[in-house]
Amino acid sequence: MMTASIKPKPMTAPKTLDDLVERDREHDCEGVGSQRICVRVAAVADLPSRFGDFKIVAFWNNRDGKEHTAIVHGDVIGAEDVPVRMHSECLTGDVMGSLRCDCRDQLELALRRIGELERGVVFYLRQEGRGIGLVNKIRAYALQDRGLDTVEANHALGFRDDERDYAIAAHMIRSLGLRSVRLMTNNPDKVAQLERYGVPITGRIPHLLPPNQHNRFYLETKANRSGHYIDFSGKPHLDEQSDRVLVEGMTVGED
Amino acid sequence: MRAEEHADVLVLGAGIAGLSCASALTRAGRRVLVLEKARGVGGRAATRRLDGQPVDHGVAFIHTEDPELLAHLEAAAAAHGPDELIDWPLRVEGAGQPCLPRAFAGRERRLALRGGLTVLAKHLSAGLPLRLGQRAEGLRPGQIDCDNGLFHAPDLVITAPLPQALELLRGLPAQPELHSALELLRAATVHPCITVIATYPADRPAPAWDVCYPEGGPLALIAHDSRKRAAPRCHALVLQASPRWSREHLEGDPARWSADLLAAAAPYLPHELGAPQGLQAHRWRYARLDGASQLAEPLLIDLGGGQRLGLAGEAFAWSGGVEAAFHSGRRLAQRLLVGPHKRDL
Ligand SMILES: Cc1cc2nc3c(=O)[nH]c(=O)nc-3n(C[C@H](O)[C@H](O)[C@H](O)COP(=O)(O)OP(=O)(O)OC[C@H]3O[C@@H](n4cnc5c(N)ncnc54)[C@H](O)[C@@H]3O)c2cc1C
Ligand SMILES: [Zn+2]
């Protein structure tokens, strides 16, 4: 069985995010997915940021030491159609501003848009480059630097979606009490995957990057044989968010 | 006489990865041949018999939470005898680190088989066409050249430890996918492990732990192997040297290995245990993949002309060790079954 229902402990309905910490103190459900992943809301605090007023929710999970977080804007507990963006940690892009990927642009866009809306959540999953790990990601870069950007090598290095990402995300969505979500993504498969874990999805919001000096090549060139765009510096861009990059004004070809 | 045989898939290596792949392919109706240089199955999941008593001198115990592997362990155990599969180790001593820290994390189960870990390999290999005593010496698309036979199949699966696999793959015609794959594999580190089995008379007092992880020094682990057995005739300890010590002493004298490793173990053993009655040493030149070299998936490379090359083994899945070997074999079988398949007869 891939889906498992999560039965929150019966108690007075939580009203604020802070209540969730108390609710989850002893939460231990049968888990989501074949790996029976269970998460708890472990800590909540305000997070005013340059993108708006947020709260940050830190999660504990029963699988590994990865500390996933949700960046929450507005009242989301019990809300319907909540805009949600899933972002996989990318140290090189998010923090260092690397131009080898578009993670930072995608993250900033998500935070900015959600910060402007009434409510929404960015789930920041601490799965570097989709679970590949930093070492293997740098290995993938090193192969690219030597012109060895091939499908099999990237596959072996782990650039793929992990069932675990979705199971964790599904549980986090329910832990926050979202009744239904609208997923900000260009990848319809993400919608299908989350639905498999029982997340009610009422819509998909395309994630369109505004054109800038770093991503103009998306408008001008086609993807190479292994499906990666080659940027101005000659580096292929790995699809690290497993979310096809769409830049406003781009003509979308066939897959 | 040198044999010559044809199949749909040749699987090189009867370790856990090779057997996992071959059994899944066979179940799906593929004609498989498993080629193995040794005289038995299991590879590094290895068991010796000392006076009829099994001693695991490779993998000390299996840790997993993979339901499929657990099911196979249970089936293997059930076919062998009652209470064959045990939770082991239960008592762990020492301040050192296990080679895979996650072995003791989360929902992992730690398991041993009373009849020795080869019980699993024997179970996985039941009904498979095994060609034992066949050492691969050359590889070409669609063909494996062994010392005692020549084998043909459109799909080749290699599960030898990485350095040995690389040696075999060198002769294949150049091709971009293969080239990047080889670059990746060359970056991997596989540690050696010098192993010493020490046996003691059963009437002496033995340590009260199952496994000990000494901190620092030449030893990585001491397994109190006889605690896995239902009615051991002797106490058996398996001393596994650390990667560093193993590397430094790999070409040394096995008699010295025993003396040095026993001396390092002494502080963890009861004084009255005394000197061993029997000693055996084993050199694992390629014992364990370094954790930082782990890949996520097996490789399947199209060599053209309807011929493919697959690579599986402990390096090709996240979890590491036996679980990774098992998992990568399964994944590769799935991928081989999905892709185009050409019969060569
Ligand atoms: C001392 C030791 C302790 C370990 N402890 C643990 C542990 O506690 N937990 C854990 O999970 N893992 C442990 N491991 C690692 C574990 O044994 C391996 O990860 C796993 O067994 C690898 O399986 P495999 O099928 O990938 O490779 P192998 O078991 O090495 O199988 C490869 C097979 O290919 C054969 N072969 C190689 N070259 C050729 C050739 N040219 N021609 C024909 N056949 C060939 C070999 O003989 C072998 O049978 C340990 C290993 C050692 C050595
Ligand atoms: Zn990135």
Domain locations in chain A? Answer: 4-127+162-207
Same domain flag for B207 and B134: no
| CATH for B196 | 3.90.660.10
Number of domains in chain B: 2
The neighbour count for residue B121, using CB atoms within 10 Å, is: 24
Categorize the per-residue pLDDT at B259 as very low, low, confident or very high, splitting at 50, 70 and 90: very high
CATH superfamily of domain region A4-127+162-207: GTP cyclohydrolase II (3.40.50.10990)
Separation of CA B182 and ligand 2 centre (Å): 25
Categorize the per-residue pLDDT at B340 as very low, low, confident or very high, splitting at 50, 70 and 90: low
CA–CA separation, B345 vs B342, rounded Å?
A: 9
**pLDDT at position A164 over 90:** no
Residue-wise pLDDT for A10-32, tens only, equals 456 788 999 999 999 999 999 99
pLDDT computed for residue B1 by the predictor: 64
Give SS3 for B315. Answer: helix
Give SS3 for B329. Answer: helix
List the single residue in A with minimal CA-CA distance to B185: A153
User: B299 vs chain A: nearest CA distance in angstroms?
Assistant: 6
pLDDT computed for residue A160 by the predictor: 66
**pLDDT at position B160 over 90:** yes
Active-site residue, A28 included: no
What are residue A108's phi and psi, to 5 degrees? Answer: -60, -40
In 3D space, the residue among B321, B322, B323, B324 whose CA is nearest the CA of residue B296 turns out to be: B324
Q: Among the bound ligands, name the one nearest to the CA of residue A98.
A: 2
pLDDT computed for residue A1 by the predictor: 38
B183·A146 Cβ contact <8 A: yes
**pLDDT at position B78 over 50:** yes
Q: Which residues of B touch A64 (CB under 8 A)?
A: 105-106
pLDDT computed for residue B138 by the predictor: 95
CA–CA separation, B133 vs B130, rounded Å?
A: 10
pLDDT computed for residue A161 by the predictor: 63
Separation of CA A103 and ligand 2 centre (Å): 4
Same domain flag for B171 and B193: no
Determine the length of chain B: 345
Question: Is the four-CA dihedral A181, A182, A184, A185 of positive or negative sign?
Answer: positive
Same domain flag for B199 and B151: no
**Residue range A158-163: average pLDDT?**
71
Categorize the per-residue pLDDT at A225 as very low, low, confident or very high, splitting at 50, 70 and 90: confident
**pLDDT at position B168 over 90:** yes
Burial class (CB in 10 A: 0-12, 13-18, 19+), A80: exposed
Same domain flag for B184 and B274: no
Domain annotation covers residue B344: no
Q: A101 with A91: CB under 8 angstroms?
A: no
Residue-wise pLDDT for A98-136, tens only, equals 999 999 999 999 999 999 999 999 999 998 876 778 888
Note the ipTM here: 0.84
pLDDT computed for residue B106 by the predictor: 66
Residue-wise pLDDT for B121-132, tens only, equals 999 999 999 999
Among the atoms of ligand 1, which is closest to the Cα of residue B14?
Answer: 49
Chain Cα centroid distance, residue A80: 19
Same domain flag for B147 and B27: yes
Same domain flag for B38 and B147: yes
**Residue range B66-71: average pLDDT?**
94
Same domain flag for B254 and B326: no
Give SS3 for B84. Answer: coil
Q: Which domain holds residue B204?
A: 48-115+189-290
Q: Give the mean pLDDT of chain A.
A: 89
**pLDDT at position A9 over 80:** no
Same domain flag for B259 and B206: yes
Angle (CA) B300-B301-B306 rounded to 5° is: 110
pLDDT computed for residue B341 by the predictor: 47
pLDDT computed for residue B74 by the predictor: 97
Pairing of strands A181-184, A82-88: parallel
Q: Among the bound ligands, name the one nearest to the CA of residue B69.
A: 1
Same domain flag for B172 and B279: no
**pLDDT at position A240 over 90:** no
pTM reported for the whole predicted model = 0.89
Domain annotation covers residue B297: yes
Categorize the per-residue pLDDT at A221 as very low, low, confident or very high, splitting at 50, 70 and 90: confident
Same domain flag for B153 and B225: no
Partner residue facing B181 (CB), from A34, A139, A153: A153
pLDDT computed for residue A6 by the predictor: 54
pLDDT computed for residue A255 by the predictor: 44
Substitution site in B23, B57, B59 for ligand 1 pocket (most atoms within 8 Å of beta carbon): B59
pLDDT computed for residue A2 by the predictor: 42
**Residue range A144-169: average pLDDT?**
85
Domain annotation covers residue B343: no
Same domain flag for B54 and B86: yes
**Residue range B246-265: average pLDDT?**
96
CA–CA separation, B32 vs B9, rounded Å?
A: 5
What are the angstrom distances between the C-alpha of B257 and each of B98, B134, B195, B274?
21, 30, 8, 18
Same domain flag for B300 and B184: yes
